[in-house]
């Protein structure tokens, strides 16, 4: 892979601690929350479930717009030897569960990003983050972390049973404990 940012992101997504074929743990009330939201959602929302993901990739640039299930993320980054040009912007929004659980997941993501030196803004069930003007190696490290974060947060809204889960899940991620069972 010739693209520095895509390679770094992919390294995180394919991190060995994530078992690609293993099912995520399910918390019954969280699962029922998802089912209730889906039954009450208008058909136009349900139709978006299978929307495509897109990537624009060059040797130093990556724009990755990903829709997985009922949430989406957008990653835009430039990674070069020129520190002043380097940046990462990342947005994450949505989910299949109720608003309380989606907001908890976003707050957990925000805590992880803040601990990773991103400037972070949370609005409802959306988090926006920015990391800029750092060396190429640091940008690569953050992209690897974002790849792991994308894997870690899949279906996490179902697991956000209470306020304590926000801190617990963010601390697990930051400690490299990715197994949610």
Average pLDDT, the chain: 85
What mean pLDDT comes out for the span 152-177?
A: 88
Do residues 105 and 33 touch, judged by C-beta distance below 8 A? no
149 pLDDT band, cuts 50/70/90, is: very high
So what's the pLDDT on residue 42?
55
So what's the pLDDT on residue 100?
86
Do residues 26 and 96 touch, judged by C-beta distance below 8 A? no
pLDDT higher than 90, residue 57:
yes
So what's the pLDDT on residue 20?
56
What mean pLDDT comes out for the span 88-100?
A: 88
Report which of residues 99 and 84 the model is more confident about.
Answer: 84
Which residues lie below 8 Å from residue 32, measured CB to CB, with a gap of 6+? none
What mean pLDDT comes out for the span 23-47?
A: 51
Do residues 125 and 103 touch, judged by C-beta distance below 8 A? yes
Query: pTM, whole model, 2 decimals?
Result: 0.83
Question: Which sequence spans correspond to the domains of the chain?
Answer: 4-174
What mean pLDDT comes out for the span 42-59?
A: 71
Report which of residues 74 and 178 the model is more confident about.
Answer: 74
């Amino acid at each position: 892979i010739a693209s520095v940012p895509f390679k770094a992101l992919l390294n995180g997504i394919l991190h060995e601690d994530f078992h690609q074929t293993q099912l995520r743990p399910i918390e019954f009330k969280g699962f029922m929350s998802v089912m209730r939201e889906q039954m009450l959602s208008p058909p136009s929302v349900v139709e978006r479930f299978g929307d495509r993901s897109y990537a624009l990739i060059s040797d130093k640039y990556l724009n990755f717009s990903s829709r997985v299930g009922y949430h989406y993320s957008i990653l835009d980054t430039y990674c070069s030897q020129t520190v002043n040009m380097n940046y990462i912007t990342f947005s994450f929004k949505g989910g299949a569960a109720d608003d309380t659980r989606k907001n908890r997941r976003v707050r957990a993501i925000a805590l992880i990003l803040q601990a990773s030196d991103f400037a972070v803004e949370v609005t409802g069930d959306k988090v926006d983050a920015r990391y800029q003007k750092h060396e190429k190696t640091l940008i690569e490290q953050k992209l690897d972390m974002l790849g792991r974060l994308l894997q870690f947060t899949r279906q996490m809204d179902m697991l956000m049973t209470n306020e304590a889960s926000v801190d617990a899940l963010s601390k697990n991620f930051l400690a490299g404990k990715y197994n949610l069972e």
